[in-house]
Amino acid sequence: MNYNKKSIEDIDVAGKRVLCRCDFNVPTKNGVITSDKRIVAALPTIQYLIAHKAKVILCSHMGKPKGEWKPELSLKVVADRLSQLLGQEVIMAADVAGEDAKAKAAALGEGQVMLLENTRYIKGETKNDPELSKELASLADIFVNDAFGTAHRAHSSTAGVADYLPAVCGYLVQKEVSIMGKALANPERPFVAILGGAKVSDKLNVINNLLEKVDTLIIGGGMAYTFLAAKGYSVGNSLLDDTKIDYCKEMMAKAEAKGVKLLLPIDTVVADSFPSPIDGPVSVETVNVDSIPAGKEGLDIGEKTRALFADAVKSAKTVVWNGPMGVFENPTLAAGTIAVAQALADSEAITIVGGGDSAAACEQLGFADKITHISTGGGASLEFLEGLELPGIACLQDK
């Protein structure tokens, strides 16, 4: 995939109607937004468009209404919050690409902003329906994609409209593509990747792809126990995917053949069972990975492993991290994830954290401002690491 895409700065937006796909899929409770981080993240692109006299038409999905009009998933709350943040009214359309949206888009003045209703209220959105794509495109002269979190989806509002309009990226997508693209295509070496999370099956293609690119691959989290089982160790009641043991053996052999250092945990924090509730009290002990007791479950990396992984990060010039090292939601089982986050924060390298749980961990632990780049897309950043083409980026014009 070509990572060198045109951005809003490469196109004249003055006086033009610009349809901008944002990620306003914000969490709400009782009709109130509980975190406006995604709205704030979209501001630089929106403010650029306003300052350059564009007529701004924003669109996004929220939740999974599956083609039904669910009032609790209306973007009206986003329009209200955005109006406050921008210091100007954000005009709310009553529909997605219907009569009201068309009338309001036609009446829009330079520097004005409107927001379409939840794109997933229309069934055709997630099916990339050409008719819906055409209707959406008819509202505007230019398409801007600034929603990296949905860039791995070929939907009407993320990719389909680009069949009918010149398409460029906003600042959020530009940053993701330039930083992650360079890390994968032309990294400063040594290049270290750290993978965690629960299941090997979620990261099969990521492991395979990264072994072609990295100097060191570190594996922690629940997925490590299948690798340990593939080495012939007994893993007690730890998370194990029997069907992936041969795959893990293949990946270890591939790493050896390519001269890639593959680091697995050498000790682990075990408990009698998974904590319930997840943040409840838990009695733990640390054991070497070759002596996990029967009936015990590994739930975090041990102290020796934390030192081993941190040491590998010290000499790196590029580090990519995706997935926690243990059940970090529980304070007793968070030490491994904290150690990795700390190692990245202390590093002089270019540090990139893939979205989802690792991003949440960095933010909760207060390390966010010490990381070069925290991705805004969980699924999208994973597919990026897999080396897949992302439809919402592939559809944008190349520089």
Cα separation, 275 vs 278, in Å, equals 5
Q: Are strands 191-195 and 318-322 parallel, antiparallel or unpaired?
A: parallel
For residue 360, the model assigns a pLDDT of 84
Tell me: the pLDDT tens digits for 155-171? Answer: 999 999 999 999 999 99
For residue 36, give the amino acid letter. Answer: D
Q: Which residues contact 253 (CB under 8 A, 6 or more apart)?
A: none
Cα separation, 162 vs 145, in Å, equals 9
The reported pTM is 0.88
What percentage of the chain has pLDDT greater than the value 90? 86
Average pLDDT over residues 113-139: 98
Q: Which residues contact 320 (CB under 8 A, 6 or more apart)?
A: 180, 183, 191, 192, 193, 194, 210, 352, 353, 354, 385
* 379 in active site: yes
Q: What DSSP letter does each residue of 250-288 carry, written as one string?
A: HHHHHHHHHT-EEE--SEEEEESS--SSTTS----EEEE
Question: Is pLDDT above 70 for 387?
Answer: yes
Domains recognised in the chain with CATH numbers: 8-172 (3.40.50.1260), 179-386 (3.40.50.1260)
What the block records as the tokens of 276 is: 């319930």
For residue 210, give the nearest of 190, 192, 228 by alpha carbon.
192
Residue 10's CB is within 10 A of a number of other CB atoms, namely 12
Tell me: the pLDDT tens digits for 219-263? Answer: 999 999 999 999 999 999 999 999 999 999 999 999 999 999 999
Contact predicate 4/398, CB 8 Å: yes
For residue 371, the model assigns a pLDDT of 95
For residue 19, the model assigns a pLDDT of 98
Catalytic-role residue among 63, 111, 379, 387: 379
Residue 150's CB is within 10 A of a number of other CB atoms, namely 25
Catalytic-role residue among 16, 17, 38, 81: 38
Tell me: the pLDDT tens digits for 186-210? Answer: 899 999 999 999 888 888 889 999 9
Tell me: the pLDDT tens digits for 354-369? Answer: 867 888 888 888 899 9
Q: What is the DSSP letter of 319?
A: E
Tell me: the pLDDT tens digits for 285-337? Answer: 999 999 999 999 999 999 999 999 999 999 999 999 999 999 999 999 999 99
* 199 in active site: yes
Catalytic-role residue among 199, 231, 254, 317: 199
Question: Is pLDDT above 90 for 124?
Answer: yes
What the block records as the tokens of 26 is: 């914000």
Catalytic-role residue among 236, 356, 378, 392: 356
What are the respective helix, strand and coil percentages of the chain, to the nearest 5? 40, 15, 40
